[in-house]
Copies of this chain bind each other. A is one copy, B any other.
């Protein structure tokens, strides 16, 4: 079964959507199986991270922003602004796709895990995720 999710982000950073994904799995009526997420963009990623503490989330963003700098003299591709090439690099270093087992009708996440969209562009926008539910 294929479903669509659109997550609208206000800008760069980690945006949790565990609740929306849980609801989608529940509505689909899958009891046991595999839920695969695929993001149809190359300047945003999917991430499983700790959802208990906002500081871990902020540190993660800051660390990656320092590793993948804007206005790096190495870049020749700058068509869409200073966050264009960093977005592609961040996307290559993180996940475009995630598969999460489903048991008892729920995502089999660990106690502290949440599902996030990691937006790499400053302006954010509507991000399309294709969701596959299989047995």
Q: Are A103 and B130 in contact (CB under 8 A)?
A: yes
In this assembly, does A29 line the interface, its C-beta being within 8 Å of a C-beta of chain B? no
A36 to chain B, nearest CB (A): 5
A91-135 interface (Cβ within 8 A of B): 91-101, 103, 108-113, 128, 130-132, 134-135
A100: which B residues are within 8 A, CB to CB?
38, 97
List, sorted by A's number, 20 A–B pairs whose CB atoms are closer than 8 Å: A2-B108, A40-B108, A40-B111, A41-B110, A42-B48, A42-B113, A48-B96, A48-B97, A49-B88, A53-B77, A53-B79, A55-B76, A59-B74, A59-B77, A63-B68, A63-B72, A63-B74, A64-B89, A92-B94, A134-B134
- The interface of chain A, by Cβ under 8 A from chain B, is 1-2, 32-34, 36, 38-42, 47-50, 53, 55-56, 58-60, 62-64, 66-68, 72, 74-77, 79, 85, 88-89, 91-101, 103, 108-113, 128, 130-132, 134-135
